[in-house]
Structure 1
Amino acid sequence: MAGDRSDASVTAQGNRPTAVSGPGPGDTLDARFELREPLGEGTLGAAWRGYDTVGNRPVIIKLFAERFASRKTLVRRFLEHYKARLKWSHEGVARIFGVGIHEGTPWVAIEFLEGLSLRQVIDARRGEGAPFSPEEADPILEGIGRVLSWLHRDGFHGNLRPENVFLLPEKICLTDDGLMDILPPEVFARVLIKRTDAAPYCAPELLSDPESAGREADVFGLAAIAYELLSGEPPTMEGQGLQELRPEIPEAIAAVIQRGMADAPERRYPTTNTFLLNYARALGDEEKIRILEAVVEAEAAEEAERTLAEARKQSQADQQATSEPPAGSSPDDTSAAEDHVAHLFVDEDVPDDLPSSAIAESHEVQAAVEEPGESTDILEPTPAIAQTSPGRGPLVAVLVVVLAGIVGAGVWWFQGRRSATDTASVAAKSSAAKAASEPVESAATRKLRGIVAQAITDAEQSRADLVKLWPEVVKEKRFTDADGLLGDARKAAHQAEYDTALELARLATTEFRLLATEREAQLEAEAEARKASAEAAAKKASAAPPKKAAAAAPKKQVKKSCPDGMVDIPAGAFFAGSPSDDLLRDPTERGLEKMKTGRYCIDRYEYPNRKGARPKTSVSLAQARALCEKAGKRLCTELEWERACKGPKNDPYPYGKVWDPNVCNTETATGEDRALAPVGAFEGCASPYGVYDMSGNVLEWTSTPFEQNRTLMIAKGGSFKRPDYAARCAYRYTAPAGTKDAEIGFRCCSDL
């Protein structure tokens, strides 16, 4: 078992790291994170094994080195970087649980990763004299590449090496990314120069001109890791060839790695996926070649749109700066952008020594660039595409998957291969040379738009079929939910958010068909019941005894109702918690389990349960309980609260299956905090039962203790400054019962 110790060389047991003063063993940071054991020194400072007393989990705590902590600018950059990371949610990046300053020392609490670092695995194989084969290295490289592709949307890693790669049973995770966001370029370069263990994986530009470095530096790092996996030794400054160490490695594989480690960034592959594509070609893996070609094409199309959009923006700025454009130029001159776009599309050549099948396929790609034509076969995206963080481009229509691989002394399988249809040839070069005023649309985009249109048509047909079966269905709330999905799909398609539109349309189709199936079964059951009733009546009439005097009618029972301002939740079952494969799942959440509740009432709004009132916050659990009891009610249990949030369909959010930052009072789509709002201010933030503000605004105390640490109590619902994962119905926030916080309020329940 190993944690995020990626950048720390272990010190002697009990020795405290000397580079940092301030916090020490036994100290508690932010009344939550305990420092327990020093692990060593890293790039930014000391690493400690720690414990999160609120989340009830081990963590790694990093303390900013004293030489950096004395500089206010670096402290600000440290805090800004890790506070932004608090909102990240990707399985391939170590999560951040807390960040702050303790006794003048900046600190960050990071997810403890229960796995082996790639350095440990490589060293173990080296000790056995058994470096990886190209096939064994493939899933590891692809797993790293998958995470890098996600990071490259807004930046790059810049510190990629085996110590910062962790192999877990079901995923690969990267750590220590974004150091250039904290350290100025010249400081970052000096730190790298001093770290001899980083040199073999460090792209030359990171040392000579770090300000110019970009994602090509990660291509170098990935290729350097591939070199060590296959050779058993890290790359050398002398540039010793891979085949000199292992002559049995195919020349095609060696050539791909050599190009990935080219000194000049422009001579390397432009993206990590392009590197992986050529590696797959060298292996002759036809299925992966088809998948990665579609990935690279989608990346290129997205980059083309972004580049031309920037060119148009710059052109408009230039026009505003001068009344007359320079002689010989046009207002929408985008030649530089077009040259860059053309490079993205054609810079996928393969080494001369590739297998003949791969060379033939490469020639077909080049022909497609020289003679553009309409493509009819493209990879059909899956609904899983929509599981992305805010800001992802609309054209990313395919997934990079981690394939099966063997690491360490045993066999580790990374299952993730998904079947895909045939992909189209690379988009024509001429499409990138369109006028700046025209949008760039690749063959992948055109095909995806068609798939989305068909999905919406299917949903509309399913709706029409349902209406035929159930003329009164428009009165049903569940129908309205499905219709809302269809409307959202049309809106997303109009805005060219094709991946989201596709998922919503398919969800709508499923909902309509489920309703139709239920209605058909209901009609059949009603028909059978009428038939049985008629037969029973006829049989009874034929053998009926003489009529007796009518018995007195039983006294009608009056059904109890909830008090004004409360919602009646019927007795029944629901699925509490979250599934283990939920990417947004927090470790403290209950596992998915079918649970039952009796009938109960719950306040429609947060306390004081008056629409437009300010929620009561900064109350302890005892104070919240007392206020409920004063009103003749009680605090809700966790199960009662969660059932009222999920509704009859067990959706992850009170309003549906997909997070929408504009429906409830949570953080914004750009990750900015909102302010506390009056209860009921967000009209759309209601569960199917009609209970408001169960996602965002304020966390709400429940009467349920946390089963792993019964000194902590569970609060639900997220708040005005929390992201998507914390706004889910299943999310749990745990805190001591005496906690008074501006984010924590409550609502009441009562029995019937």
Structure 2
Amino acid sequence: MLCQRCGSPVPDNSASCTTCGLKLAGASAGGAAPRRRTATVEAPYKPGDTFARRYAIREVIGPGPVGHVFRAQDLEMDVEVALKVINPRLVQMQEERTQFSLALRAGKKLTHPHHMRVYEEGEDRNRPFFTTQFLEEGTTLRRKIEQRVSQGQRFSLKEVEALLVQLVEALDSAHRYGPHSDLKPENIFLLPDLLKVTDYGLALGIPRLPYIQAQKAWKVGCYLAPEYFEGGELDTRMDLYALGIIVGEMLTGQVPEEDEVSELLAYEADLPSGIEALYRRATNANPLARPRSAGEFLSDFTAALSSRPRPAAVRPATQGPGRSKARQQVPFSLTAELATATPRANSLPPPVPTSELPTLGSPTVQVPTVGHGPPADSDEDDVKTAVDEAPKPTSETPISERTTLELPQVERTTLKIPQVERTTLEIPQVAVTEEIVPPDATQKLDSEALAAIMDTAQSSTSSPAPAPKARAQRAEPRPPVKAAAPSSRAATRTDPVIPVARPSLLSRLWMPLLAVGGLGLGAMAGYGLLKWRQASQAPAAPVAGAPSVATPREEAGAEPLLPASGCPKGMRRVSGGTFKMGKETAEEGTAAEPLLMPRQVATFCIDEFEFPNQAGAAPRVDVTWEEARTECARLGKRLCSEDEWEKACKGPGSLRYPYGATFDAKGCNTQGNAGEPAASGAFARCRSGYGVADMSGNVAEWTESSMGGADRVQKGGAFNRQQPSVRCSARMSAEPDSSSASVGFRCCKGEP
């Protein structure tokens, strides 16, 4: 087994570690075998060799998914380093090796204590390499997890929280320059009092398909986010996916297999429900559903710990290393718990408060009616129901006096209702009383019975005595329905039957008419709003020297598509990460445009409009590259690089034009529209997914990048350019001291 503190190999029955002296629990319990692949790949160098005429190999540390790691001595700096040599099969083309070098250069900027410092990067005989800080002590999180699994143990929530605090600090620091992209337990080093993360940007520096194959061969592809497999745009949220997988593995010892994210509570039923919810969010296939930052992930994790824990469930028996067996012994499932939480067949429903309105039910109902006799003092009802089947059950409740009435339109039902108030009805030769009894909320009423009760209540309020008389006179009596087993009193009674009046047609149709009227009003309002919005979004004809032209987004006070937090006013934030730069096919554009290739940029801010960066102002033209650079520097900014400019233009979806994948002649100020530079923001649709305006057409823009010599790159086309020249990937070049009436610029700035 491995020492819990220093990671050194220790015999299973040892009482303490021979390296650091840590007391151990003794013999290790049986558990799952290590997940990572045991490699037998022969190292390309052996101790005593010199690599790149600078690094003397001292020890072969071991292979990995993308290459080998060596302990080496830097002969120039006279310092011991970790030398990582990449397999040349993964980066065969010169363009791929250049991209690898650019990705590793971003890692040199990381100086946070929780990051492993990157010293140098380069290549030797077509083998890319980089060197990092070498750690004499400590162990990786992978070894720590394997040790716990071998002992049948799991990380406690407090242990996970302590590691998560340092890991989140490392990620938040790295995300200023882009995603880590290769976050996994193998790249997390645990020192006695510190955590360090290594291999920043490695997945962005190696072509996607070879990298995926290498990770799957070593069974660590589960830490890669789904968008990486699908070839989508990558940003810092891919690290939050890996972070969720790592936390779940520490708590349960399980990781997703075959793109199926397991349920943590199925393996650790004592976990708070908030941990399960956070795990589901972080591992969601949609990046937008994940936490927005590592700091938010930590906040949600801490909040879940402070919430009330779930009830403890019976733990399953000791499970073997197989994943399928663990799934068969699921001690708890939220779905199963809800499915079995149904009431028993013989259990009665809880009583419904009488203050609630009765719901419409089936045509056969029980309704209150009138009777005669002395007033009742009891509050209980006596209900006796006869049905067609034999025997015909009845349900009775004691009352002060029982009265049996025969009701029309009620199938074989005999009701006995207590009397509350005595009101004499004037009916020829018979004196009866009418009782206004509140409906029993536990009984179901149909629409006719409900309307009858409402009519009775209204008539008794407005005119207590005459209303029942008039109603009785208007009603047409129908033959009564015979009861199944009438009592002697019911058989010999001579009281007249008072039927329930039919509801009027208006009372039946008022609800459908109200619904239809509401739909009609809503449709008319929506149509009017749509017309108004279309009219407001129509591109206005540009007017030279116009003082202000506000965009519909500004008039409505809408927020930008992406938050501009951390950027100065008037600038838009573009999240760092990799994107697809270049043209899609060799036929489109000029030969100077590269084909699609992945490029990585750090997070930056870019002016929303062309200089002077004011909505409605005319963009400044007739400037040289030097003048544009000086103006940006005066404002504490700089010219955008070509990579930054193209990423801001293509937006999060890597589109061909700022507004979409197909050309729209009226979308931006291109050839055939104004014929001259338009005021900034005049074309409402000409905005990229990051909220940056006029990146296609209007005026071309200087960039910091060169075309390979002294000439500088211009992007975006102009008002006098046709479709091929106004794509986001289109590029032109000009001498730095040249100027034109169709060329301007905009500024960029690194995120503070």
Which TM-score applies when normalising by structure 2? 0.37
TM normalised by structure 1 equals: 0.37
Q: Mark the structure with the bigger radius of gyration.
A: 2
Higher helix share: 1
